[in-house]
Structure 1
Amino acid sequence: MNEEKRNRILAAVTVNVILLIVILAAVVIYQLVEITSISRRRAQIEDKIAVYRTQTENAQNTLDYYKSYEGLLDKAYEFGFVFGK
């Protein structure tokens, strides 16, 4: 193998290695952007879950109150019912 052919092969290998490194770097950057985006979306969903759990708990407490005697009595007075002794 003469010197010129060896230099061409080395140049081709070098170019291919550089292209491979650039492509892999682009893939890594894309993956980092996707991971960041998904992490942000996950945090938003977890915040919504916390809000919905709080709302559910408040609704359950309200339901328990209106199932109790005091809650029913308050609603009866609110709608104008008057109870005699």
Structure 2
Amino acid sequence: MNPSMTPEQILEATGLPTIREVVRVTGVTAQAVYKWRRIPSEHCLAIEAANEGRRTRYQMRPDVYGRAPRGTKPRKKAA
């Protein structure tokens, strides 16, 4: 059985700055977020939009979305 993701792993995987932002974007409770073993596929599109493409659905769930189409790259954080 896989352990739940740590808060740091959740933020790294989603590209969002806080757990509160993950909760706001996904509409689930913080308790539900802390139980994630991986990012639920039903939230990937909303998370991708909220993080402005810094983490794509293809990065979060390649088992669901497959490889990114040619020519698509994650955006880099603004300096």
- TM-score of Structure 1 vs Structure 2, range by shorter chain: under 0.3
Computing the radius of gyration over CA atoms, which structure comes out larger, 1 or 2?
A: 1
TM-score, normalised via structure 1 length: 0.18
What TM-score, normalized by structure 2, do the two folds share?
0.19
Structure in which a larger fraction of residues adopt helix: 1
Q: More relative contact order in 1 or in 2 (CA 8 Å, sep 6+)?
A: 2
